[in-house]
Amino acid sequence: MSSGSLGGYIVRRLTQTLPVILGVVIVNFLLLQLAPGDLATVLAGEAGGAPKEYIDELRARFGQDQPVYIQLFYYMRNLLVLDLGFSFRLGAPVLDLLLDRLWPTLLLMVATLIVSLGLGIVMGLLAALWVRTWKDTVISVAAIIVYATPLFWVGLMLILVFSIRLNWFPTSGMEDVVAFHEGWDRVVDIAHHLVLPTVTLSLFYLALYARLMRASMLEQRGLDYVVTARAKGQSERKITTRHVFRNALLPVVTMAGVQTGGLLGGSVVLEAIFAWPGLGQLAFQSLFARDYNLLLGIFFLSAVLVVIVNLIVDVIYVFLDPRIRIG
């Protein structure tokens, strides 16, 4: 497989996803029209009341006095040049708002992916190796309990124990707003704030990956190629690490790719609990404020991210399993 064909593949995949993203935008745009109430009413409501002239004026400013198809047309036209519009509620361009919130989201996402995938795979692997022993039972039961526990409860309990009782970690936020550290201290400070949210979010996914990895390992171990390898006289250790492990990873990686989309939007609760300044909270607030420009921008960004992550997953397949060819 030459790098040229990989590049070509990526370009081809990206072109194929354009209509998908376009569809996502149009469907979302139309769906949002169905929600009752609008931004002007919400703004007036937040203000504790406002004269009708004021509300009408707001509507005209937002372009909401135009028919829906014209609004859609303008939106699509602006999207072509990556102009995601203006959030009238927050008084800032949507793109700026998204980019500000993107990096805390990515930070949390990547940290969670590393921790949950890493630990989940190791736990699943160990459980599979110790299958039907008490150690396997402990791991499996722990995974089920963690998986079944609501995220917000875990988050609050961790705050209660590790920040209020033990005083090890801050309750919330991304950095210390009294000290305002700079340089290297700031990195350490942010990492310190990152621990509890990452652990909370990871626990959930970790359980999922551990169970998946265990099942996948057990399934692979019974397949013909393992018998063949064993017949060749390869050591069990080598069979596990070189063959079974790599093949067992495939479903886990697939699942991780699918979950990334959820990780992006599904951390709304987590962001609220830990006051983490990510995209989830922004989406949540903009929905309730009927700030559609902003919401559509978030949907657009999420769609793009999901497409990219899935592309990366497909590329990883090739390295994990040489039988899979792209093209």
Partner 1 sequence: MRLFGGFATAVIAIGVGIVGVSLTSAPAAAQKRGGTLVQITQPEPPTLGSYISTANPVGQVAAKIYDGLLEYDFDLKPLPSLAESWVISDEGKTVTFRLRAGVKFHDGRPFTSADVQFSVMEVLKRVHPRGINTFSEVTAVETPDAQTAVFRLNRPAPYMMAALSGYESPMLPKHVFSQGDIRTHQNANNPIGTGPFKFGEWRRGEFVRLDRNADYWKPGLPYLDRIVVRFIGDTGTRAAALERGEAHVAGFGAVPYNDLRTLERLPNIRIETKGYEMLSPVVELMFNTRKAPFDNVKVRQAISFAIDRKFVIDNIWFGFGKPTNGPISSNFAASGLYTAEVMNYTVADGVERANRLLDEAGFPRRADGTRFDIVHDITPYGEEWRRFGEYTQQALARIGIRSTLRYEDVATWLKRIYTDYDFDVSSNHLFNLADPVLGVHRAFHSRFIRPGTVFVNGVRWSTPQTDDLMDRATIEPDAAKRAALYAEVQKIVVEAAPLAWTHEISFATVLDRRFRDVIVSPLGLFSNFDRAWRE
Residues that bind partner 1 in the complex, under the rule CB under 8 A: 35-38, 41-52, 54-56, 61, 89-92, 97, 100-101, 104, 152, 156, 159-160, 163-164, 167, 170-174, 177-178, 180, 271-278, 281-282, 285, 288-290
Separation CA 146–CA 187 (nearest Å): 30
Shortest Å distance, C-beta 309 to partner 1: 23
Shortest Å distance, C-beta 307 to partner 1: 25
Closer by beta carbon to partner 1, 152 or else 225: 152
Shortest Å distance, C-beta 267 to partner 1: 12
The letter for the amino acid at 228 is: T
Closer by beta carbon to partner 1, 199 or else 273: 273
For the chain, report the end-to-end CA distance as a whole number of angstroms: 10
Shortest Å distance, C-beta 77 to partner 1: 21
Closer by beta carbon to partner 1, 42 or else 318: 42
**Per-residue 3-state assignment (H helix, E strand, C coil) for the chain:** CCHHHHHHHHHHHHHHHHHHHHHHHHHHHHHHHCCCCCHHHHHHHHCCCCCHHHHHHHHHHHCCCCCHHHHHHHHHHHHHCCCCCEECCCCEEHHHHHHHHHHHHHHHHHHHHHHHHHHHHHHHHHHHHCCCCHHHHHHHHHHHHHHHCCHHHHHHHHHHHHHHHCCCCCCCCCCCCCCCCCCHHHHHHHHHHHHHHHHHHHHHHHHHHHHHHHHHHHHHHCCHHHHHHHHCCCCHHHHHHHHHHHHHHHHHHHHHHHHHHHHHHHCHHHHHHHCCCCHHHHHHHHHHCCCHHHHHHHHHHHHHHHHHHHHHHHHHHHHHCCCCCCC
Shortest Å distance, C-beta 95 to partner 1: 13
Shortest Å distance, C-beta 168 to partner 1: 11
Shortest Å distance, C-beta 25 to partner 1: 22
Closer by beta carbon to partner 1, 120 or else 280: 280
- Which residues lie closer than 8 Å to 294 by C-beta, 6 or more apart? 87, 89, 90, 94, 97, 282, 286
Closer by beta carbon to partner 1, 59 or else 246: 59
Shortest Å distance, C-beta 172 to partner 1: 5
Closer by beta carbon to partner 1, 244 or else 264: 264
Q: Are 259 and 54 in contact (CB under 8 A)?
A: no
Closer by beta carbon to partner 1, 40 or else 255: 40
Closer by beta carbon to partner 1, 209 or else 292: 292
